[in-house]
A = this chain, B = another copy of it.
Amino acid sequence: MSLLVVGSVAFDAIETPFGKTDKIVGGAASYISLAASYFTKSTNLVAVVGEDFPQAFIDHLNQHGVDTTGLQVKKGEKSFFWSGKYHTDMNSRDTLVTELNVLADFDPIVPEAYQNCEFLMLGNLTPKVQQTVIERLQKRPKLVVMDTMNFWMEVALDDLKETLKKVDVLTINDEEARQLSGEYSLVKAAAKIQEMGPKYLIIKKGENGALLFHGKEVFFAPALPLEDVFDPTGAGDTFAGGFIGYLAKTGDISFENMKNAIIFGSAMASFCVEKFGTERIINLSQAELDARIQAFRNLVRFDIPATL
């Protein structure tokens, strides 16, 4: 089923304990689209870049089956740029530079051919822009998934709450879930956030895995223990891309199938962090993905008889 991805396509400059990069391609929608492309070939992208953005990456997306008709290229303008430095624990980072550039007045135009998409993934953006996309779709998608971050809770909480009312699945990290709900317990936080709109909540805990909440049900997916986490940039977006890509592939939005989707998302994210930027997820083989899913199976599978 067709998937619409909206989010940033941008440049990042990253420093981790393992090295640093010059400007490389990043942005939520880049990671989401690439990750989703391993599951569905009906991905449509709405985003904006400047004249400085490399055509080679757009070609890459197209080769992955991503339709870039909705990618606006602004003449004479520059792409969004973020630069950050990770601390030793890789769970925290300092932002060194944020240049909004073309993102400052991004108008998310949805091409006619993208109407009737069945799955919508809203990457982290101004909540107003996310809401605009939903409003511009003539038919509500079967599933709307939204990512956001603490920044919007601080500067645009009312807008964020309005947008939350219109989505089915929210993905945020544990600290953001606590901030948004005012609850320390993630179980209580999940209950409060579900009252704000999204009937499904995914709490991302980085190297500590991810939780999916829905009513009284909860599912946990671990992160794969890795020798090294080389660069966590984009891991959350790659996770989201694998998640919604698998749902779009199967067309099944039951809680049971979302569990599988979260495992696929986690597998994609486990690749993402092994190299800088999108390098590791731009050219994965099916065999690599199969082996990684098997690793997740082995990681958590135990066999206690139902009655002892």
**Chain A interface residues toward B at CB < 8 A:** 88-89, 184-188, 205, 208-209, 211, 217-222, 225-229, 256, 259-260, 262-264, 290, 293-294, 297-304, 306-308
Closest-by-CB residue of B relative to A191 is: B227
Please determine whether A208 and B211 come into contact, CB atoms closer than 8 angstroms: no
Q: In the complex the two chains form, what is the Cα distance from A306 to B298 in whole Å? A: 12
Residues of chain B with a CB closer than 8 A to A259's CB? 301-303
From B187, B211, B225, B260, A304 is in contact (CB under 8 Å) with B260
Please determine whether A302 and B205 come into contact, CB atoms closer than 8 angstroms: no
6 pairs of A and B residues whose beta carbons are closest in the complex: A208-B208, A259-B302, A300-B300, A220-B222, A187-B227, A260-B304
Copies of the polypeptide in the assembly: 2
Please determine whether B302 and A187 come into contact, CB atoms closer than 8 angstroms: no
Q: How far is the CB of A280 from chain B (nearest CB, A)?
A: 17
Please determine whether B225 and A187 come into contact, CB atoms closer than 8 angstroms: yes
Q: In the complex the two chains form, what is the Cα distance from A301 to B296 in whole Å? A: 11
Please determine whether A304 and B300 come into contact, CB atoms closer than 8 angstroms: no
Q: In the complex the two chains form, what is the Cα distance from A297 to B300 in whole Å? A: 10
Please determine whether A304 and B188 come into contact, CB atoms closer than 8 angstroms: no
Please determine whether B303 and A89 come into contact, CB atoms closer than 8 angstroms: no
Q: In the complex the two chains form, what is the Cα distance from A169 to B222 in whole Å? A: 23
Please determine whether B225 and A302 come into contact, CB atoms closer than 8 angstroms: no
Q: In the complex the two chains form, what is the Cα distance from A63 to B17 in whole Å? A: 54
A-B contact pairs, 30 of them (CB 8 A): A89-B184, A185-B228, A185-B229, A187-B226, A187-B227, A188-B227, A209-B222, A217-B298, A218-B225, A218-B299, A219-B298, A219-B299, A219-B300, A219-B302, A220-B222, A220-B299, A220-B300, A221-B300, A221-B302, A222-B222, A222-B300, A256-B303, A259-B302, A260-B303, A260-B304, A263-B304, A264-B304, A290-B308, A293-B304, A300-B300
Q: How far is the CB of A193 from chain B (nearest CB, A)?
A: 14
Residues of chain B with a CB closer than 8 A to A229's CB? 185
Q: In the complex the two chains form, what is the Cα distance from A157 to B270 in whole Å? A: 35
Residues of chain B with a CB closer than 8 A to A211's CB? 225
A217, A220, A301: which has the most chain B beta carbons within 10 Å? A220
Q: In the complex the two chains form, what is the Cα distance from A293 to B211 in whole Å? A: 18
Q: How far is the CB of A219 from chain B (nearest CB, A)?
A: 7
Residues of chain B with a CB closer than 8 A to A187's CB? 225-227
- Report if A227-B302 is in contact (Cβ < 8 Å); known contacts: A205-B208, A208-B208: no
Q: Give 6 A-B pairs besides A219-B300, A219-B302, A294-B306 with Cβ atoms closer than 8 angstroms.
A: A185-B228, A186-B225, A188-B227, A220-B299, A221-B300, A293-B304
